[in-house]
Amino acid sequence: MTEHDPSAYGRHIADLYDATVRDFPTELTVARLAELADGGAVLELGIGTGRLALPLAASGLRVAGIDGSPEMVAVLRAKPGGDRIPVVLGDFSEASAEGSFALVVLVYNTIFALPSQAAQVRCFANAARHLAPGGRFVIEAWVPDPAAFTDGTAVRVLSAGADEVLLEAATLHPADQTMRTTKIHLTERGGVRLLPANHRYAWPAELDLMAELAGLQLQQRWSDWDRTPWTDASRSHVSIYRTIDD
Ligand SMILES: C[S@@+](CC[C@H](N)C(=O)[O-])C[C@H]1O[C@@H](n2cnc3c(N)ncnc32)[C@H](O)[C@@H]1O
């Protein structure tokens, strides 16, 4: 079924990944996810290097993960507590983890790593399959913004330090709702590193429909982990879907 290589992202970025997410609101995200889990088990799709999974496990929750990248999982395994989290290596749109979960988590735009609408629909179904009755599926993603592109291209400064700069160059392909990005990591000593990632983007309404197809319903939507209300101006969203069966 898999029509792309789920290990590609990690192969390019695993050794650098933690540095690129240093300024993320990780503590707040973990607190919000722990509230949503409410003591129940958590499955993270695209668990990566354990940015969220490790603190969630340290808070006493049972945490498991699925990831396509042996390199990202190796970084997780090397951290304290990283060897105690069960991780299935595979494509999270179809791989199975053991058990059922109160919360399935897919953050940091990673739903868009799946290359087609069909793969994203499969992913919602796979998330729903892992949920206990009344369980929730949380997605964090950006809101597509074609207006940010000029002639189909855009460059953003993600961080700019005295000896380290992270840029992102992107091209937009509206005909198939895809965006190709390359992060450009510049350091005085390490030179230039190019970190490619492709996205099949979708607006929240399309994700809501995928949820409905999987037997889930939108329960809440915020603009961010601060619970900022969802408005016309929102450029990202945290969407919480719940099983319809209760
Ligand atoms: C942007 S990182 C996010 C890591 C972690 N969730 C975090 O928030 O720090 C995306 C992760 O998803 C994994 N990934 C991407 N596509 C995948 C797929 N189709 N199946 C399984 N894992 C995938 C990558 O290997 C990577 O570890």
Specify the number of domains making up the chain: 2
2 falls in which pLDDT band (50, 70, 90)? very low
Q: How far is CA 158 from the centre of its chain?
A: 17
**Six-digit token pair at 223?**
């603009």
H or E element in which residue 31 lies: helix 26-37
**Six-digit token pair at 25?**
């609101």
Residue 2 in domain: no
Considering the domain architecture, whether residues 91 and 138 belong to the same structural domain is answered as yes
Mean pLDDT to the nearest integer, 4-22: 91
Look up the CATH number of the domain holding residue 164: 2.20.25.570
Q: Please say whether the dihedral angle defined by the alpha carbons of residues 59, 64, 66 and 72, taken in this order, is positive or negative.
A: positive
For ligand 1, mutation pick of 76, 110, 112, 236 (most atoms within 8 Å of CB):
110
Mean pLDDT to the nearest integer, 11-24: 91
DSSP 171: E
114 lines ligand 1 (CB under 6 A): yes
55 lines ligand 1 (CB under 6 A): no
Residue 1 in domain: no
Considering the domain architecture, whether residues 105 and 190 belong to the same structural domain is answered as no
Tens digits of per-residue pLDDT, 99-130? 999 999 999 999 999 999 999 999 999 999 99
193 falls in which pLDDT band (50, 70, 90)? very high
Identify any residues that bridge with 89 across adjacent strands, giving them in sequence order: 67
Considering the domain architecture, whether residues 125 and 150 belong to the same structural domain is answered as no
Considering the domain architecture, whether residues 130 and 226 belong to the same structural domain is answered as yes
Residue 219 scores a pLDDT above 50: yes
Considering the domain architecture, whether residues 40 and 127 belong to the same structural domain is answered as yes
Identify any residues that bridge with 154 across adjacent strands, giving them in sequence order: 170
Considering the domain architecture, whether residues 17 and 100 belong to the same structural domain is answered as yes
Residue 1 scores a pLDDT above 50: no
Q: Which amino acid is at 9?
A: Y
- Domain extent, residue 150, equals 146-198
DSSP 4: S
Q: What pLDDT does 145 receive? A: 95
Task: Dump strand ranges (E) for 21-128.
Answer: 42-45, 63-67, 87-89, 101-106
Name the strands in the sheet holding 42-45, side by side, starting at the edge strand that comes first in the sequence. 87-89, 63-67, 42-45, 101-106, 131-142, 236-243, 216-222
Mean pLDDT to the nearest integer, 125-149: 97
For ligand 1, mutation pick of 9, 42, 89, 96 (most atoms within 8 Å of CB):
9
Considering the domain architecture, whether residues 110 and 225 belong to the same structural domain is answered as yes
Residue 3 in domain: no
Residue 230 in domain: yes
Q: Please name the residue that has the structure tokens 């380290």.
A: 164
Mean pLDDT to the nearest integer, 218-240: 98
Whose CA is closest to atom 17 on ligand 1? 6
Whose CA is closest to atom 6 on ligand 1? 47
107 lines ligand 1 (CB under 6 A): yes
Q: In angstroms, what is the span from residue 67 Cα to ligand 1's centroid?
A: 6
Residue 153 in domain: yes
Nearest Cα to 32, choosing from 206, 215, 228, 214?
228
**What burial class does residue 177 get, using C-beta atoms within 10 Å of its C-beta: 0-12 exposed, 13-18 middle, 19+ buried?**
middle
Considering the domain architecture, whether residues 91 and 164 belong to the same structural domain is answered as no
Whose CA is closest to atom 27 on ligand 1? 48
Whose CA is closest to atom 11 on ligand 1? 46
Residue 18 in domain: yes
Residue 160 scores a pLDDT above 70: yes
